[in-house]
Homo-oligomer: A and B are copies of this chain.
Amino acid sequence: MSPRPKVRVPTAAAIIIGNEILSGKIADQNLAVLALVLRKLGVRLEHAVVIPDDLRRIVSEVRAAATAYTWVFTSGGVGPTHDDLTIAGVAKAFRKKVVVHPEMDALIRKTYGERLRDGHLFMARVPKGARLVQTEEVPWPAVLMKNVWVLPGVPEIFKVKMKLVESVIAAASPFFSLSVLSTLDEGNLKPLLDSVVRDHPAVEIGSYPRWTDPHARTKLTFDGGDRASCEAARKAFVASLPEGGFVSEEG
């Protein structure tokens, strides 16, 4: 039994951009990294797509995803060459112009100094209205246009930007995941869980059989955006367990 979630959790889509991935020249590494980060943040990744360096495809995918999901993440196509179309595509998806972001422009000029070339300044271009996200730990910013994160394809840099993603999403939608281990199997737990699920609609309750664990037959999870609600649901469940049914709890 896995009760269907009663809670609207934040959702996400990933748009991986690059001919080199579709042609097999490079294997994407970023989707798996993003999936893990989102899972930890309690954001459900529901869709991922890999598309060529094609402005029309970028525009249509970004526009559709920005409406359908809480967060959208693009990967790739943000360098200075002719096939780097993501900034233009995201701008067009929101019917905005591409503009030079003054802070980014200043940061680039300061960073490169005398080595500065036009190609470097290309990276200061953002969709009008985009926000730069930066932290003390990661001073080189990520571009966030409404709910769309415009991230680089280079895996090492993509990973660093994940810290910026975490800082914004954890603040926007906190997520708590508590758990309990029980000696009971799902068949015996069902009536107890049904009651807790009914009484705690703001908490997403899951149950997972543990086939190989000699101490506990089932793990129960209590997830949600409000810690007190998750704790109340877990407390009610633990109180309903028969003698010997409780093993331990976490979170």
Contact = CB atoms under 8 A, between A and B. Distances in A.
Contacts of A14: 50
A39 interface: yes
A64 interface: no
A48 interface: yes
B47 A51 contact: yes
Contacts of A27: 31-32
Interface string A90-129: 0000000000000000000000000000000000000000
A84 interface: no
Contact of A47 (B24, B28, B46, B50): B50
Nearest to A48: B50
Indicate the size class of the contact surface on chain A: 20 to 34
A22 B31 CA distance: 8
Given A21-B31, A21-B32, A46-B51, 9 more contacts: A22-B35, A22-B45, A22-B46, A24-B32, A24-B34, A24-B35, A24-B39, A24-B45, A28-B32
A29 to B, nearest CB: 8
Nearest to A82: B2
Contacts of A52: 46
A157 interface: no
A23 interface: yes
B35 A23 contact: yes
A36 interface: yes
B46 A48 contact: no
A50 B34 CA distance: 13
A32 B36 CA distance: 20
A49 B46 contact: no
Interface in A45-92: 45-52
13 contacts: A21-B31, A21-B32, A21-B35, A22-B35, A22-B47, A23-B45, A24-B45, A28-B31, A46-B51, A46-B52, A47-B49, A47-B50, A48-B50
Given A27-B32, A32-B27, A48 B45 contact: no
A50 to B, nearest CB: 4
